Structure 1
């Protein structure tokens, strides 16, 4: 889920930042609107879409469908963030790479993405945390216990009308936070760089 969101967001943000096309401002306003629009209001429409695509009630396919829905809901904010990073890169740097023989794709892949690595790390962390902690969409769309996500599984241990196994709940909660701690440890240096970038720009 994270690589898909990073790929889509970085591509769209680059296009919106560099291509001076008519209606670009309207597109950015629409992206902001999509980010502010409550995703819960689209659950029925998204469910209908998953049914039409054959991704509902199909086990693993439903899990993939839930991941795609989550990516679609998170992409607008990621595009908005990365566009700000692309806007901060001087055109001269891109022109210099083009003069040296790089294609547009090579400039985007080898030069610009490397420069905006702090921004990519930020949206990667956001995407991971948002997807890992997602409960509502998974609870509504995933009806087979074998494919429950961790938040749904934890809630099922508490909400069922029976004796709560607190030992099992505590153990599963510990496993639930381990990936978050690992993600933080891997991205701690990048987050510090992001803070420095904000301090310099501010």
Structure 2
């Protein structure tokens, strides 16, 4: 399976740097990458914002939802692991309940809430909905890292005169850094590849993201008019940030506990 996926990705890169004749690479060409230097992304008769605007839109949603998800998961995971309060066992079990239902089932409620709050068709609205939707799984993962740390840390820190906040940020956070890196990677990738929420909760073409663009380019009446070389180049460009982030984070993923 891994070999098949690598072959598909390799084929995508080859097509992006090829001159296609009848759908078959016939030579090396950089024509498919001209969109990097154009003010607007123009493919056949379709006009879109520049590729750099699309990149910025996608990054804003990915990074923003990652910050929301990781921040909430970090504190909630700590509370569920080290805290002692009524209903703790129920909350621990309920962290995964949100995964029982597909995220698409919450779209109607999300649409209504954002419209009521005046956040419909805004980056803030998408970031909040996307970030909050994934908090349950990330909380469960990060809780596993907190569970590995001895409970005597709080007592030892209090003897030294350290406050709760200082103990959390100076001792706990560095100790579970591999877990933070792991959930940050997954949160970023979830936001980076989000299609459904962006397509439903935004209407302004200026906020278009890579998944929307790639889907639109393939949604044509005739496949004979599709510029596959350009699509492969855009897909390769879209894939690069995720690959780079994964490359630098893979050592932390291997330490992840669920």
Query: What TM-score, normalized to structure 1?
Result: 0.88
Contact 2:146 2:176 in 1 (8 A): yes
Instruction: Please name the residue that 2:70 is paired with.
Output: 6
CA apart distance, 1:116:
0.8
CA apart distance, 1:37:
2.2
Where relative contact order (Cα < 8 A, 6+ residues apart) is larger, the structure is: 2
| Consecutive unaligned residues in structure 1, runs of 5 or more | none
Contact 1:35 1:73 in 2 (8 A): no
CA apart distance, 1:188:
3.0
1:110 aligns with 2:175: no
Instruction: Please name the residue that 2:186 is paired with.
Output: 126
1:34-45 alignment, distance < 5 Å: 34-45=98-109
Match of 2:241 among 163, 176, 179: 179
Contact 1:5 1:75 in 2 (8 A): yes
1:89 aligns with 2:153: no
Rounded to whole Å, the distance in 2 between the matches of 1:54 and 1:42 is: 18
- Structure showing greater Rg: 2
Rounded to whole Å, the distance in 2 between the matches of 1:121 and 1:10 is: 11
Match of 2:158 among 77, 80, 98: 98
Give the superposed CA RMSD.
Answer: 1.6
CA apart distance, 1:15:
1.1
Aligned length: 191
Instruction: Please name the residue that 2:10 is paired with.
Output: none
Contact 2:68 2:132 in 1 (8 A): no
Match of 2:209 among 125, 149, 159: 149
Rounded to whole Å, the distance in 2 between the matches of 1:53 and 1:65 is: 9
Question: Which one has the bigger helix percentage?
Answer: 1
Rounded to whole Å, the distance in 2 between the matches of 1:53 and 1:154 is: 30
Instruction: Please name the residue that 1:165 is paired with.
Output: 227
Contact 2:179 2:252 in 1 (8 A): no
CA apart distance, 1:185:
2.3
CA apart distance, 1:73:
0.8
CA apart distance, 1:190:
2.6
Q: 3-state SS of the aligned residue for 2:91?
A: helix
Contact 1:9 1:78 in 2 (8 A): yes
CA shift digits 1:118-166 (9 cap, x unpaired) = 1111101110111111111112222222211111111011113362122
Query: What TM-score, normalized to structure 2?
Result: 0.70
